[in-house]
Structures are given as C-alpha cells and as structure tokens.
Amino acid sequence: MELKERLNYKKAAPGVYKAMLGLHEYLLSCGIDHKLLDLIYLRVSQINGCAFCIDMHWSDLKKAGEPDKKLYLLNAWKESPGFTERERAALEWAESLTLVSQTQAPDHVYDLVCQHFSDAELANLTLAVVTINGWNRLNVGFRTPPAN
C-alpha cells in the first residue's frame, strides 16, 4: 500500500519549515562532525520509521564516504564492528532520548556520553536528537514521501 502525502507543511505553514531549518543550520555550525550528525539523524529516523529522513541521511552519509557495511549495520550498531566509541556513545544517547518515555534517559547512558563529549557538545548533540525527532514527526505525520 502506497501512502499518500497528507499535507505539505512547507507550503501550509512556511514558518514551521523555516524554524526547523534554523535548528538545522545552527547544528551545522556548532562544531559536531557532520558525519556524526547524519549518523544520529539516520539512526533516530530508523527508530521513528521516517522514510523521507532515512533516504536523505543515508544518501548524505554515502556522499560523505561512509561505507555501505556501516550503514547497513546501523540498526544493529551495538553488535556491529566499525563504530568508534564516540559514535557508540552518541548513538546510545540518541536512542535513549528518542525513546525517553521508555528509558527515562538513565544515568549510565548519561555518564557514558559525558566521557566522550564536552558539556557544550552534549548540549548540541541533544539538540540534534530533538531536531531530528521533530523532523521525523512532521514527515511521518504528514506522510512526506522520500525524494525520487
């Protein structure tokens, strides 16, 4: 069954799109490696089932030189080689915050991410998780189709 787009939110409320782009633009300039941001965006989008964002961030990571194997194994990153300790900490934090109603962002995950990120980096990483969850909710809710 092919899903039909419910609403083009960019046209219906351009300010929504502009506000989200503002977050995105800030994150691109905050100092966190863009490949790490896209890795977080892709993993969170997998959890949320956002086809539009999965397609976008998979493509961005491929263009940035990430190997296919790493991308194929992202949804099983805990059991897979090829991820740095910093990436693992960021992924753990991102998953914990994305599933916050289930996890309550436990202390052991916070302690882990603090070992790999400064306070400013952690605040920015957290905003990245907030932002991609927002994009996912807009695109899943309104059934935004992946790019052709």
Residues 25 and 35 sit within 8 Å (Cβ to Cβ): no
Residue 39 lies in a domain: yes
Residue-range definition of the domain harbouring residue 61? 33-141
Q: What is the pLDDT of residue 147?
A: 85
Give residue-wise pLDDT tens across range 54-71. Answer: 999 999 999 999 999 999
Count of structural domains within the chain? 1
State both tokens at 65: 């030189």
Residue 7 lies in a domain: no
Residue 3 lies in a domain: no
Using a 10 angstrom Cβ sphere, with 0-12 exposed, 13-18 middle and 19 or more buried, the burial of residue 115 is exposed
Q: Per-residue pLDDT for 81 more than 80? A: yes
Residue 22 lies in a domain: no
Q: Per-residue pLDDT for 2 more than 90? A: no
Q: What is the pLDDT of residue 1?
A: 66
CATH code for the domain in which residue 76 is found: 1.20.1290.10
How many whole angstroms separate alpha carbon 88 and alpha carbon 82? 10
- The mean pLDDT value for 61-86 works out to 97
Residue 14 lies in a domain: no
- The mean pLDDT value for 92-96 works out to 98
- The mean pLDDT value for 22-43 works out to 98
Residue 124 lies in a domain: yes
Residue 82 lies in a domain: yes
